[in-house]
Every structure is written in structure tokens, then in C-alpha cells.
């Protein structure tokens, strides 16, 4: 897989660290002291506006935008979107105008959620923010905005929510290569990679990377929004599109895609007891901050699966930290 043939702008601090979670592993071990060994891939340390997984995608998406002569980028997400914040920061760094359309997916009106955390950083990066109600056709809203901007003489480039298309997913094909290289240097056999899955680009890229390199590493996405069947279908479709984009059609099959969507709770962006426990455990045992929407729920799922004996005691599990800890400031009551 020759990723060098695709346009890319270096925005991230790479490679991100791969670290053992010694104290959490011991905390989750069984009565006999045995249990999976946990590692964490620190994609919260990508560096762009507090970091996060979207920065890897934006390296390819922003390069594509510039190659097509764009002077403006448009994207969308939830009110506290980590993707929107990183897109605004990338646009600021590259001198592009940025328009963010934020969808009200939780119904919350408190100031901490609507004005602080990611929203505050969006504004600091100079983004123009528009708000849309829950259930809006966000792709159509972005296209309508793009048409208006073209009428004003602008050259907009539309980035899908989460940066999740075949171009953006290349960032996590690269991440799979990076992770396997680090594991080889450490003499580490990775059995599972676990992460939060939502817009599907991170999981699709990881799956393509792991399958394309014949790694034998299983990728499990812990869902944060949709039920299992539609989530797996979305990941599968994007992974197959990404493989075709790489010139590798036919390598991704249904059995390569797995999602567990038992930890969504009442809905996207709505706190759960398991998420709060996971965030606190990581903060108290490892000094690492998760986020309340993605990595917190994914870690809650991983912890519960370990407690249920889902993984072999001698397995090595890498948790992909997708960033977003600034979002904690939008959830003060849940975390209190």
C-alpha cells in the first residue's frame, strides 16, 4: 500500500506514542491476577488544537482541498464535535476560511455544552458557525452553503462529518502501518485493536490497513451512536470504498468488520454511568483523560468486555485513544 502517491500535508505529531496501561491492566485482572495486557495508542497526542484522531484524516483531506484550489472548507458535526474543532484549527493553520454546521443532537441548552469546550475552540480558531436542528440533512445543508459561497466567488471544499470518506480514511490506513511498526520494534504481538466508532472513517481505515498488511489483528469498534447492523454496514461500505481508492478492490469482506454497540446508552453524546467510570479509572490509574462522547464510551465497553471474560487472559489489546478530552468541559454535571 503506497500512501505516498496521495496528496498529504503534515499536520500531526507522528508517530503517536504506544504505551502500556500497567495499572489499569492490574485493576481489571481476575482473582488469579491474570487478564489481558492493555496498551494505548495515544492519538489524543496528534497536536492540532489539543489533538485527536481527525488530524490524521485532515492531513489527506486538506491536501486534497488545496490540490483542488479551495479557499474555504465546510464541514459538519454535533455541537461538541471534535472533528469540527480540528478542522477549524487545520484551516487556520493553512489560511483557509472555515464554515462549521453544528447539529443539535442532544437537546441540551446549558452554557457549558453550547458555549464551552470544543465550541469555544471553534470560535478561537476563527470558524464561522451555523446551527442546525436535530435530524437535519447535514450533507444537503453543507451543499446548499457551498452553492451560496460559490455564488459569492468562493471556492469551497466540503468535508463529510468526521472526515469519513475514502480520502480521510487513508489517515487510518497509515495509522495501522504505524502501529504495526511500533509493535514490531517492541516485540509486541497485538491481538486486538479497540476504538470508538461513529462516522466510520477511523475503523474503515484501520480495517483496510490491517487486512492489507495481512496482520491478523482483529479490529473492534465500540459504537457511540447507531445500532450494530447499520454501524457495521457503514464501516464495511467505507472500508471497501477505501480499498478501491488504494487500488485494492475485493480485499475487504464482511467478516473483517465488527462493531459492538451495546454501550451507546440513551443516544449519541448522552452520558452513561459506564462512561463516567471509565473516564475516572483512566484519570486516577493512568493519568490519561478520555472524552465523554467517544473514547469514554469505547473504554467503558472494553472494561465491561474484559470483566465478562470476552478476551483471552494472555491477549494484548491496544486501545486507540481518539482524543477529545477538551469535551469534558462540556459535561461538568456528569463528571461531578
Active site amino acids? 81
Q: Strand 37-42 relative to strand 72-78: parallel, antiparallel, unpaired?
A: unpaired
Taking CA atoms, 27 is separated from 263, 281, 284, 318, in Å, by 21, 9, 11, 16
Length in residues, the chain:
336
User: What angle is formed at CA 71 by the lines to CA 161 and CA 153, rounded to 5 degrees?
Assistant: 110
Phi, psi dihedrals of residue 221, rounded to the nearest 5°: -95, 135
Whether 78 contacts 90, CB under 8 Å: no
Furthest-apart CA atoms within the chain: distance in Å: 68
- Check: CB of residue 100 under 8 Å from CB of residue 86: no
Q: How many CA atoms lie within 13 A of 141 on its CB side?
A: 20
Measured from the Cβ of residue 332, the count of other Cβ atoms closer than 10 Å reads 13
Q: What is the DSSP string of 269-285?
A: T---HHHHHHHHHHHHH
Amino acid at each position: 500500500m503506497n500512501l505516498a502517491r496521495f496528496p498529504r500535508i503534515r499536520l500531526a505529531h507522528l508517530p503517536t506514542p504506544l504505551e502500556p496501561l500497567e495499572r489499569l491492566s492490574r485493576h481489571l485482572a481476575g482473582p488469579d491476577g491474570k487478564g489481558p495486557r492493555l496498551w494505548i495508542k495515544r492519538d489524543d497526542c496528534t497536536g492540532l488544537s489539543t489533538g485527536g484522531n481527525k488530524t490524521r484524516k485532515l492531513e489527506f483531506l486538506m491536501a486534497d482541498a488545496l490540490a483542488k484550489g479551495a479557499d474555504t472548507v465546510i464541514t459538519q458535526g454535533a455541537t461538541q464535535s471534535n472533528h469540527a474543532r480540528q478542522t477549524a484549527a487545520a484551516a487556520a493553520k493553512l489560511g483557509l476560511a472555515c464554515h462549521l454546521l453544528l447539529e443539535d443532537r442532544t437537546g441540551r441548552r446549558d452554557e457549558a455544552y453550547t458555549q464551552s469546550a470544543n465550541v469555544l475552540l471553534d470560535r478561537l480558531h476563527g470558524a464561522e458557525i451555523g446551527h442546525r436542528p436535530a435530524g437535519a440533512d447535514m450533507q444537503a445543508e453543507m451543499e446548499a452553503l457551498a452553492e451560496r459561497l460559490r455564488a459569492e466567488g468562493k471556492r469551497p471544499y466540503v468535508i463529510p462529518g468526521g472526515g469519513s470518506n475514502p480520502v480521510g480514511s487513508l489517515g487510518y490506513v497509515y495509522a495501522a502501518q504505524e502501529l504495526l511498526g511500533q509493535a514490531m520494534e517492541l516485540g509486541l504481538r497485538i491481538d486486538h485493536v479497540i476504538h470508538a466508532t461513529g462516522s466510520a472513517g477511523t475503523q474503515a481505515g484501520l480495517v483496510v490497513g490491517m487486512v492489507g498488511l495481512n496482520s491478523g489483528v482483529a479490529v473492534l469498534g465500540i459504537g457511540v451512536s447507531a445500532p450494530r447492523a447499520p454501524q457495521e454496514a457503514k464501516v464495511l461500505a467505507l472500508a471497501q470504498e477505501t480499498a478501491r481508492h488504494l487500488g485494492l478492490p475485493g480485499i475487504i469482506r464482511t467478516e473483517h468488520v465488527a462493531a459492538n454497540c451495546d454501550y451507546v446508552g440513551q443516544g449519541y453524546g448522552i452520558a452513561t454511568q459506564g462512561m463516567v467510570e471509565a473516564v475516572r479509572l483512566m484519570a486516577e490509574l493512568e493519568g490519561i483523560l478520555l472524552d465523554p462522547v467517544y473514547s469514554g464510551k469505547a473504554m467503558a465497553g472494553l472494561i465491561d468486555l474484559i470483566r465478562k471474560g470476552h478476551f483471552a487472559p494472555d491477549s494484548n489489546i491496544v486501545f486507540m485513544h481518539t482524543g477529545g478530552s477538551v469535551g469534558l468541559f462540556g459535561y461538568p454535571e456528569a463528571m461531578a
